[in-house]
A and B are shown apart, each in its own frame.
Chain A
Amino acid sequence: MISKISENLDKWNSRQFITTLNDDNISQNKKSDNLKKFPKEISSIVGDSKIQTSKTESSLLFENSVIFKISSKFDSKIVVEFVKPSRIKIRVDPANIIEIAKFLNHELGFDHAESVTGTDYPKDNQIEVIYHLGSYLRDDLAHLVLSLTTRTDRDEARLPSLLPVYGSVEYHEREIFEMLGVYFDGHPRNERFLLPEDWADIPPLRKEFHIKGR
């Protein structure tokens, strides 16, 4: 395990530009055309890396080396939202997500999806879906959780399903379908899962759905 880490570190040290990867500017430089529709304010809500204070930037070497591997392949297709100890968040376009997920699974060794979360952002009129990916087989990646994020339009929420890549997202995507109304193309069962059979309301985790009396 240690040898693998040091190997990665060596690789990382040979690169110059990753030292600037923590700046938010680098992601803007890399933005491609299809990512431009994401508004800039998102980074004010999500993606603030100031919070982590316990570890210095130099201890994020390993995380950055992982990001380098991804960005060297999908240079303009990913946006790095933040890098924190053991946590990476990258944002991709829905069109590229299966391709990138396949790369993450088969090449990098993120072999399972821990959880899939949907978050509603009515301000941006978007719904964010986050795949928290982890690795069981590779010891050096075991502590790392990579958040693969994509966003879709709120009014016509449709995303490609990651079920062909990660078998473990089956029930999670079903849950997001009923809780946030995101239709997953390629998922065999976009149906009710946890909610009552007679549920006849909007998807409950959308922000315009309010708990009674609140």
Chain B
Amino acid sequence: MENFDYKINDTQKLGLEIIKEASFDDRLMTLSVGPQHPGSGHFRFVIKIDGDYIVFCDPDPGYVHRGEEKMAEYRTYIQNIPHLERPVIHDSTNITYSYSLAVEELLGIAVPRRGQFIRAIASEFNRQIYTLYWLAIYGIFLGHSTMFMWPAGDRELFIDLMEALTGARVTHAFNIPGGVRNDIPNGFKERCLRQVSYFEKRLNEYEDIFYNNPLFRQRTEKVGILTKEDAIKLGVTGSVLRASGIPYDIRKVEPYDVYDEIDFKVQYLKTCDSFARSYVPFLDMKESCYIIKQLLDKMPESGDVRTKLQSNVKGQSGESYKRVESGRGALGYYVVSDGSPKPYRVKISVGSFRNILALPHLLVGSKLGDMPAIYWSLNYWPVEADR
């Protein structure tokens, strides 16, 4: 056999070259994940896979872009509220909270103390509602259908409370510049304490069935590691940042309204992986229950809940940038006023839009099976990112 003279003619050479080039392309398969993919939401990212490994990722948001910022320039300060909460209807109190803070600064008005407390209570409820919804989807993304149903059911506890408080189940339009729309109903405090203490018991059950599940741990631990340096470089926020070992919470570093009187800890983990990113919101929920109890305790018994504004109130010319801690991290509003009843420019700086920058960073090099575990651990809400 050694004497066998193996020659390649020109045609074969060409063929081999073609195969060489083609086989390189054939190794990669391009998948368009979303917007009809069950694992993406209103969002699309194009990935290329080599076998089971993702080698390329390009996020493509914009499927639910509604031009909220442009719309806000055409409406007065008060008219803006119902449509500005649309990007995150589950977290609508928080997304109008920072808008109200920014507009209050521009209009130069102060919020009564009781109004500040009710605002804080409503925003904590909404944090719970959002985080439960997020957790439900994280459960179903990992194939855990019970973890989809339980949080989706327990969400009703807080939705009912919000309904009693504001009159609407999901889109409340509750925060307005100058305070909140209405006072709390009778017997609200007792009902609230009862439901929150029940919910705290349920949280322990979540931990048993989901977070302590060995299969869940296998899928998320040491998966999608976002180191502290990368987290800072990519400018992520909220639970993603806190899971990378940075205790940064707007409620703590720049307390707004009454949060400087509340005693709570910033929840953070140092493992930097998907598990940490999924566990930090859960710890936040626990802490939030504690905050709600304190808020109810410290709330003044009576008083105004809002400062009355004139119709078509005009702001002084100037600009304001205010942030709150929403369910997905820092949520800032940059409002510019030129002295007219309508804002000159409204920019919504949302946590989702900042967190999604970490998606290509984390997905490239990981396995296809880790895709849902990484993607949804980024605490990303597509509608909010698109605005």
Interface of A toward B, CB cutoff 8 Å: 44-54, 82, 86-87, 89, 111-115, 117, 119-120, 130, 132, 136-137, 139, 142-143, 145, 147, 166-172, 175, 193-196, 204-205, 209, 211, 214
Q: State which of B139-147, B230-238, B291-299 sits at the interface with chain A.
A: B230-238
Q: Which residues of B contact A47 (CB under 8 A)?
A: 318-319
Q: Which residues of A contact B353 (CB under 8 A)?
A: 171-172, 175
Name B217-262 residues within 8 Å CB distance of A.
231-237, 241, 246, 248, 253-254
- A132-B349, A193-B62 known; A137 vs B317 contact (CB < 8 Å): no
The answer to whether A136 touches B74, judged by C-beta atoms less than 8 angstroms apart, is no
Closest Cβ of chain B: how far from A201's Cβ, in Å?
12
Interface of B toward A, CB cutoff 8 Å: 61-62, 65, 67, 69-71, 74, 105-106, 108, 110, 231-237, 241, 246, 248, 253-254, 316-321, 323, 330, 332, 334, 336, 338, 344-345, 347, 349, 353-354, 356-357, 386-387
**Once bound together, how far apart are the Cα atoms of A49 and B386, in whole Å?**
32
Q: Which residues of B contact A205 (CB under 8 A)?
A: 69-70
The answer to whether B106 touches A136, judged by C-beta atoms less than 8 angstroms apart, is no
Closest Cβ of chain B: how far from A153's Cβ, in Å?
19
The answer to whether A136 touches B232, judged by C-beta atoms less than 8 angstroms apart, is yes
The answer to whether A204 touches B70, judged by C-beta atoms less than 8 angstroms apart, is yes
**Once bound together, how far apart are the Cα atoms of A45 and B343, in whole Å?**
12
**Once bound together, how far apart are the Cα atoms of A112 and B232, in whole Å?**
6
A117 is contacted by which of B248, B323, B330, B349 (Cβ under 8 Å)? B349
The answer to whether A115 touches B317, judged by C-beta atoms less than 8 angstroms apart, is no
Q: Which residues of A contact B334 (CB under 8 A)?
A: 115, 117, 130, 132
The answer to whether A48 touches B235, judged by C-beta atoms less than 8 angstroms apart, is no
Report 28 cross-chain contacts, Cβ distance below 8 Å, ordered by A residue: A45-B336, A45-B344, A47-B319, A50-B316, A51-B106, A51-B108, A51-B318, A51-B320, A52-B105, A54-B110, A86-B254, A112-B232, A114-B235, A114-B349, A120-B345, A132-B349, A137-B232, A137-B246, A143-B254, A145-B323, A145-B332, A147-B321, A166-B235, A169-B235, A175-B353, A205-B69, A211-B74, A214-B74
**Once bound together, how far apart are the Cα atoms of A64 and B71, in whole Å?**
36
The answer to whether B318 touches A46, judged by C-beta atoms less than 8 angstroms apart, is yes
- A113-B235, A194-B62, A195-B62 known; A87 vs B316 contact (CB < 8 Å): no
**Once bound together, how far apart are the Cα atoms of A209 and B61, in whole Å?**
22
Chain B residue with the shortest CB-CB distance to A53: B108
The answer to whether B234 touches A168, judged by C-beta atoms less than 8 angstroms apart, is yes
**Once bound together, how far apart are the Cα atoms of A136 and B62, in whole Å?**
29
Starting from the known contacts A82-B318, A117-B334, A119-B347, 19 additional A-B residue pairs (CB-CB under 8 Å) come to: A45-B336, A46-B318, A48-B318, A50-B318, A51-B318, A52-B105, A86-B254, A111-B232, A114-B354, A136-B232, A136-B248, A167-B357, A193-B62, A194-B61, A194-B62, A194-B387, A196-B65, A205-B70, A211-B74
The 5 closest A-B pairs by CB, nearest first: A168-B235, A115-B349, A112-B235, A194-B62, A142-B253
B357 is contacted by which of A49, A130, A171, A204 (Cβ under 8 Å)? A171
Closest Cβ of chain B: how far from A146's Cβ, in Å?
10
- A193-B61, A193-B62, A211-B70 known; A114 vs B232 contact (CB < 8 Å): no
Q: Which residues of B contact A171 (CB under 8 A)?
A: 353, 356-357
